[in-house]
Amino acid sequence: MTDMLRELERIIGERKANPQPESYTHRLFESGTNKIAQKVGEEAVEVVVAALGQGRTEQIGELADLFYHTLVLMSQLGIGLEDVDNELHRRHAARPQSPAQE
């Protein structure tokens, strides 16, 4: 699963470095950080709507859209999956472990 996220991160980075005018990803980068962040917010709302009233297929599709747009925003901000992974590891390591969590 994470292999696909890393592949998508690579593709997004490639689109950023080598713009293709017909590319949706390129158009997002051209629109700037504010518009990309707004798109992430819109996708997050669509995830909530799907979670509360749509079927599994729609829910998965909306979550995939949110992941994609979040990766575009991360690229725009210079943040990679590795950065987020490191932060999650740091947070997990800082939590005291109870026997039930091990």
Q: Is the model's pLDDT at 98 over the cut of 90? A: no
CA end-to-end span of the chain: 23
User: Residues for the chain: how many in total?
Assistant: 102
pLDDT band (50, 70, 90) for residue 94: confident
- Kindly tell me if the per-residue pLDDT of 34 is higher than 90: yes
Question: Which of 39, 41, 8, 12 lies closest to 26 in space, CA to CA?
Answer: 12
Which conformational region is residue 78 in: left (phi greater than 0), alpha (psi within -120 to 50 degrees), or beta? left
Domains of the chain by range and CATH?
2-101 (1.10.287.1080)
| Distance separating alpha carbons of residues 12 and 16, to the nearest angstrom | 6
Query: 0.75 exceeded by the pTM?
Result: yes
- The 10s digit of each residue's pLDDT in 40-77 is 999 999 999 999 999 999 999 999 999 999 999 999 99
Give the per-residue pLDDT at 102.
55
Here the contacts of 64-70 (C-beta below 8 Å, separation 24 or greater) are 66/40, 67/5, 67/8, 68/8, 69/28, 69/36, 69/39, 69/40, 69/43, 70/40, 70/43
Instruction: Supply the mean pLDDT for the chain.
Output: 93
